A and B are shown apart, each in its own frame.
Chain A
């Protein structure tokens, strides 16, 4: 079975705190991709990052960083020095190649950053 679990339904932090959003995935495929999307209150889905299963290097983009660990099937997302504009729902997703290729989404983590 292929599945993505985001155990944290809601997280609330105060501005400038660091916050980590957890993502655990399940798949038997050896080739797959992992994604993070952001959905701000306006409702659109914004692509943040794509990582393939053969690349376990961590990635940093400004205040955002991602930690991919195949040994624990996790792809966690950290926001450093959070800001109010980071308030959104964040989705982790697994792309698998069977059935034409499809994204399997986690249920999302709602992050609220308070001033």
Chain B
């Protein structure tokens, strides 16, 4: 199994508060991704990173920011959480440099915004 951890695994917060989710990998993979999973939508890409300090937006990036200061860590921040951001968040990693292109997923973080 790919070495990916996410923290916290569960979080309940209130509308308007900032929230940071962490993804940590031990595989030294170049690419990291944040997805959200909602009923009826499958998984949708929020942001991704193709290297340290190199990030870009996915299809549902509004209200989210990311940072990657080290290869192993990719942070997702909700600057001011809203109820529409209640979701399950998955981090994924991929080592596209070797051409594998398979994305391996972390265990997920369940976020509830009240």
* Residue B114 interfacial (CB < 8 Å): no
Contact A33 B101 (CB under 8 A): yes
Mask, B93-109, CB within 8 Å of A = 1, is 01010000111110110
How many chain A residues touch B (Cβ–Cβ < 8 Å)?
21
| A91-B42 CB under 8 A given contacts A45-B90, A100-B50, A101-B31 | yes
Q: Is the interface of A mostly helix, strand, loop or mixed?
A: strand
* Residue B58 interfacial (CB < 8 Å): yes
Contact A108 B50 (CB under 8 A): no
Residues in B whose Cβ lies below 8 Å from that of A43: 88, 107-108
A residues 43-78 touching B (CB-CB < 8 Å): 43-45, 47, 50
Residue of B nearest to A39 (CB): B37
Contact B101 A45 (CB under 8 A): no
Band of interface residues on B: 20 to 34
Residue of A37, A99, A107 near B56 (CB, 8 A) is A99
| A106-B42 CB under 8 A given contacts A45-B90, A100-B50, A101-B96 | yes
Residues in A whose Cβ lies below 8 Å from that of B56: 99-100
Residues in B whose Cβ lies below 8 Å from that of A108: 42
- Distance in angstroms between the alpha carbons of A74 and B43 in the assembled complex: 20
Q: Which of A4, A43, A45, A106 is the most central at the interface, judged by chain B CB atoms within 10 Å of its CB?
A: A45
Residues in A whose Cβ lies below 8 Å from that of B40: 107
A residues 85-115 touching B (CB-CB < 8 Å): 91, 93, 95, 99-103, 105-108
Which A residues are within 8 Å of any B CB, using their own CB? 4, 33, 35, 37, 43-45, 47, 50, 91, 93, 95, 99-103, 105-108
Which B residues are within 8 Å of any A CB, using their own CB? 31, 33, 40-45, 48, 50, 56, 58, 88, 90, 92, 94, 96, 101-105, 107-108
